[in-house]
Amino acid sequence: MKHKILGNSIIVAVIIAMFIISPICVNAATTLRLGHIFPITHPVQKATTAMADYVAKQTNGEVEIKVYSGGALGKGKNLAESIHLGTVAMGTAGPGLLSRLEPAWGLIAGEYVFKDMESMFKVLNGPVGDDIKNRLIKKRGIRALGIGYLGQRNITANKPIYKPEDMKGLKIRIPNIPLRKASFLAIGAAPTPMAFQEVYLALKQGVVDCQENPLPQIVTAKFYEVQKYLILSGHALNPEILLINEKRFKGLSASAQGVLKEGAKVYEDTLFTEFKTMKLALLEKILDAGVIVMKPDVEAFSKAVRDVPYQFEDKWGKGLYDRVLKAQE
């Protein structure tokens, strides 16, 4: 009798174990959390959401990307560090932020480093760009899955600015990028690193005199409410890089990795389309707010900062700046 009872107990235990284990082993979905710092009205939100929809559909729900906007998963350095550690799987960041993890990205954020958008993508999608991307993987375990575009960075201020001399002594808010700080010092300004979320109040209270950002950020942050002039300096291009923790990426099946790469292309295309579509509307909104839009002497600004990147060759390697310039030819 004891043997019979024991046998029945073993059978019951096996059946229970099957029910517990089977949901984990069969058709288990992988959820990847993706964070960015922008509001839900920003093009980055639309681009990451479009990618998430594509990935879910193409993997039949095997991979689910959950998008968190407005810095909900971390802001700035904290988000990048979380992706490095793997506590957040995915995110987006500009090259300035990535320069804290790999200095070479600071060159990509540099003033007048690229002739135009086409030149930037030619570099980033070529051998030089591959070198910079691979440094991020090897040193930080972060893969640059895609390169989106948010346009040129321009200056807003409460006075007209035509040439570098007009910026002498002006406190300009910048992200914490050493090359950008050195460039504005070369122009004669007083660069002031500050978190993006603090800029509006700082402008309103006069803590800083001016700031620089792409049009989508200028409009979504409503800087036009506290600034009188938009100066189309176009001093830097602003890619927004789609990132994923390398271990999380490698842990996916080969087919899922392929879909994520395709999804990154959806991100790139959607972001570019959104920016292109919104560009005129953004300018119109700025003009409707009473902001005066002006074009400065771009050549004078470019000449003033042309040799600044050479000051940082000890950080990203001698010859990298020359390689970036040559790759644009």
Q: Is residue 11, in this structure, part of any structural domain at all?
A: no
Total of domains in the chain:
1
Q: Given phi > 0 = left and psi -120 to 50 = alpha, else beta, which region is 276? A: alpha
CATH number, domain of 45, equals 3.40.190.170
Q: Is residue 5, in this structure, part of any structural domain at all?
A: no
Per the structure, the complete domain to which residue 167 belongs is given by 16-327
pLDDT at 24: 36
Q: Is residue 1, in this structure, part of any structural domain at all?
A: no
pLDDT at 8: 56
Q: Is residue 136, in this structure, part of any structural domain at all?
A: yes
Q: Is residue 289, in this structure, part of any structural domain at all?
A: yes
pLDDT at 220: 87
Nearest in space to 136 (alpha carbons), one of 84, 64, 192, 171: 84
Alpha carbons 264 and 242: distance in angstroms, whole number: 7
Does this model's pTM top 0.75? My answer is yes
Q: Is residue 3, in this structure, part of any structural domain at all?
A: no
pLDDT at 208: 98
Q: SS3 of 195, please?
A: coil
Helix (H) / strand (E) element for 214: namely strand 210-214
pLDDT at 76: 77
Q: Is residue 271, in this structure, part of any structural domain at all?
A: yes
- Written as tens digits, the pLDDT of the chain (329 aa) is 444 444 555 554 544 444 444 443 334 689 999 999 998 988 999 999 999 999 999 999 999 999 999 999 998 788 989 999 999 999 999 998 899 899 999 999 999 999 999 999 999 999 999 999 999 999 999 999 999 998 999 999 999 999 999 999 999 999 888 999 999 999 999 999 998 889 999 999 999 999 999 998 899 899 999 999 999 999 999 999 999 999 999 999 999 999 999 999 999 999 999 988 888 889 999 999 999 999 999 999 999 999 999 999 999 999 999 999 999 98
Q: Is residue 255, in this structure, part of any structural domain at all?
A: yes
